[in-house]
Structure 1
């Protein structure tokens, strides 16, 4: 009987959302990066699976403002997915049950970063991005939108 209880606990834990921590958003750094206050420490969090225009890139300021209009000053949940090359948390940011990463894509505020977005839901996000592009939402309203990874690569040349 004890083994059955343990098995049920393991299955329940595997299915439970993995919100590792929550924190108050103290700044919006870019359209895909925030700083949260957690345990009296500031932590920079990149939104997993998306890439928003760079601050000096066309639409960069608007993307940052859009994100800020939802999360600035709010307490958000962070589900870490991995760390980036600089050791920063890359995670899913949720507010009141809303997936903020997804919100950025569906409203045309960011691209799905296909090389790093490897979860099952990423396919859904790609479809959302295509729908935003088709309706010219957000950054897609500007002709010739350049993905941020291409913008960064061009700046290094």
Structure 2
């Protein structure tokens, strides 16, 4: 999948967790809501350690803010998959710097900058990396399905 060359301007109207939001996109009077999964990262689940902090950090960056979405396609749940910028910041980069997400494992090699940020956060004990044995969200979902 390739990144769309044009940005879609939206207003973020809901934050669901540390890597998913709902945005209202389009012209006034003709807008539509869409659920957006932030590309390249996987944040802790809501009930998981640091899940609420990841949610709060994404809300601080994006809630009720204009967002630029660079669509990549859709994920297996039908959500738009996109690179997202809020307040001039790449959201995936911000979540990684704060130590509140992992680089999404299947795509890790495509994002060397995010991998470097993850290594830095881990080395400094930032965010979720302060834990002795942080559990990746994909392992958490496998261990605790449908919690």
The TM-score, its normalising length taken from structure 2, stands at 0.88
Partners of 2:109 and 2:125 in 1: CA distance:
26
- 1:138 paired with 2:127, answer yes
What SS is found at the alignment partner of 2:55?
helix
- Work out the CA distance in 2 between the residues paired with 1:80 and 1:155: 30
Instruction: Please name the residue that 1:115 is paired with.
Output: 106
- Are 2:42 and 2:102, in contact at CA under 8 Å, matched by a contact in 1? yes
2:42 maps to which of 38, 41, 51: 51
Change in CA separation of 1:118 and 1:80 when aligned onto 2, cut-off 3 Å: farther
Report matched runs for 1:58-77 at 5 Å.
58-77=49-68
Partners of 1:117 and 1:80 lie apart in 2 by 18
5 Å-filtered alignment, 1:1-157, equals 18-39=5-26, 40-117=31-108, 119=110, 122-156=111-145
CA distance in 1, matches of 2:7, 2:131: 37
Q: Rg: which structure is higher?
A: 1
Structure (1/2) with the larger helix percentage: 1
Number of equivalenced pairs: 140
| Cα distance in 2, alignment partners of residues 117 and 92 from structure 1 | 15
Tell whether the 8 Å contact from 2:62 to 2:87 is kept in structure 1 after alignment.
Answer: no
Determine helix, strand or coil for the equivalent of 2:36. Answer: strand
Paired residue secondary structure (2:107)? coil
Structure 2, unaligned runs of 5 or more: none
